[in-house]
Chains A and B, each alone.
Chain A
């Protein structure tokens, strides 16, 4: 048992509790939170390295063997998602520490608890435990969404929480169904049980699987369940919105696990249960998200629609269900999580310099010394619109190449069309914010150095992803192949269960 597996949950949990219990000044709270995020980053790198050797590691909580106990499972995919989270969380914390965290007392503890939920959801090997970690990350996110308050946020928060509560009820119904039929909630156990299930139970199992798709689709913002996203994300304060960029990916991750582990190739009559739904819905999400970017009147809203577009892109790759397509989708996942995060933060820096116009795309005060913010925006826009040479282009290219000939016409037209829409929307937004302004500049101080550094850190990931493309893509192909091979996962967990102790 590798004890490192529990640390991505323990570190933010402990630091969150410490932040909650002690009476910390702003400085010590920031220090503690940053230290925790840094530790998680180092840990994530270690775990990616250890998972990269190819074998799947299992950790039984409290050394209780499954089926009674709950296991954590680390494979390449889980380690990768931990790394994505940690790389996003650190700049977000740096940015928040320049002032946004003063809006409420509980910003830092809530953010740590959110990380507990996210890391736990990636690591857990148990369906009900996944529900619990979903709840942890959702409850923290309700608090974070309201951070800083304001009437807009209250209403967006209310809709967001009600929708997710309904989602939780559906999750429980699906979990109950699966437990009633198979007698286990362990993901590996479920995988085996579904593969050998009585054909008479197949309709019920399919119901449970599709209910889970609805739940995860709600988290991931899949059409027709994405309508909550634009308003919530554009109402949240910048660092929170940036951190939320990973939340939809938790849903995408869960859909990938559901489609490979539970209803993958080994599932007999139920193999490929999700594909006929996932494929058209992801393309519709992609198209509608792109239409939303054109309609958006503010930069945060535009970015929120870019998140919707990215979810459509990712799920279309997952729906294709080949190692090349899922590998391409994972590359795009890294890119889009970090870059949309950067754009949310950048939108806040721009908004602060435009007075009452904020980030609304209309004629407003000129931005003084526009070279810095404008340059950063240009880099982010190029990457997000998918223009060469940055990572968005590489990610889309990988996906387009991976499409088999039957799916090619659809994927190429929708993906390239939505890319064009985002390009138009992003360049229109850029010219509205930086060029089309004839009012006098407001007396504003230069953006804080740390905030700019946070944006630069996130943007530079795009450069790294495209320069180090070859080894990254190699690694991601291996990750995708391992994720698609459910036998390896179940084999590792079952072997662990039978070990004498």
Chain B
């Protein structure tokens, strides 16, 4: 019950942060969602404690698959967080701010205009 509540809370925080306008909060939201997913995979994966991980070592071996799933999910999530951060930094360098979306962009895309980046922010910002 507590476990489910923790997963739910993590997911809710992740989704809330994802809906923000700035890239940094979105990256935070993505990682929270990632944690929630990993915990969820463990919870759904018929995890058993004190069982041998190898066949022929005891009556009921533990299921190795959830661990493999979580490991894969962690590796991919970790790499993608790094990539999105790099992309966000680059976007900030090119655009002068870290907005993710803007109506002006949509209109510019539709008309085929190249939207000019804002002037570089001063040292005070």
Specify whether A and B are partners: yes
| Chain A residues within 8 Å of B, Cβ to Cβ | 68, 128, 132, 135, 139, 142, 146, 151-152, 154-155, 157-159, 161-162, 165-166, 168-169, 172-173, 175-177, 179-180, 183, 185, 230-231, 234-235, 295-298, 301, 358-361
State whether the Cβ of B87 lies closer than 8 Å to any Cβ in chain A: yes
Q: Is the pair B94, A161 in contact by a Cβ cutoff of 8 Å?
A: no
Task: Give chain B residues whose Cβ lies under 8 Å from the Cβ of A230.
Answer: 109
Q: Offer 26 A-B interface pairs, CB within 8 angstroms, sorted by A.
A: A68-B65, A135-B76, A139-B80, A139-B83, A151-B91, A152-B115, A154-B87, A154-B94, A155-B100, A158-B87, A158-B91, A159-B100, A161-B83, A165-B30, A166-B18, A173-B37, A175-B41, A176-B41, A176-B44, A177-B44, A183-B46, A231-B109, A295-B110, A298-B112, A360-B112, A361-B112
Q: Is the pair A234, B109 in contact by a Cβ cutoff of 8 Å?
A: yes
Q: Is the pair B83, A173 in contact by a Cβ cutoff of 8 Å?
A: no
Task: Give chain A residues whose Cβ lies under 8 Å from the Cβ of B114.
Answer: 152
User: How many residues of chain B get a CB closer than 8 Å to chain A's CBs?
Assistant: 42
Give Cα A175–Cα B72 distance, bound, in whole angstroms: 13
Give Cα A155–Cα B26 distance, bound, in whole angstroms: 14
Q: Is the pair A359, B84 in contact by a Cβ cutoff of 8 Å?
A: no
Q: How far is the CB of B33 from chain A (nearest CB, A)?
A: 5
Q: How far is the CB of B39 from chain A (nearest CB, A)?
A: 10
Task: Give chain A residues whose Cβ lies under 8 Å from the Cβ of B106.
Answer: 231
Give Cα A172–Cα B30 distance, bound, in whole angstroms: 13
State whether the Cβ of B4 lies closer than 8 Å to any Cβ in chain A: no
Q: Is the pair A173, B110 in contact by a Cβ cutoff of 8 Å?
A: no
- Partner of A151 from the list B77, B80, B95 (CB cut-off 8 Å) is B95
State whether the Cβ of B40 lies closer than 8 Å to any Cβ in chain A: yes
Q: Is the pair B109, A185 in contact by a Cβ cutoff of 8 Å?
A: no
Give Cα A157–Cα B91 distance, bound, in whole angstroms: 10
Within residues 65 to 118 of chain B, which ones have a CB less than 8 A from any CB in chain A? Answer: 65-66, 69, 72-73, 76-77, 79-80, 83-84, 87-88, 90-91, 94-95, 100-101, 105-106, 109-112, 114-115, 117
Q: How far is the CB of A347 from chain B (nearest CB, A)?
A: 11
Task: Give chain B residues whose Cβ lies under 8 Å from the Cβ of A157.
Answer: 87
Task: Give chain B residues whose Cβ lies under 8 Å from the Cβ of A139.
Answer: 79-80, 83
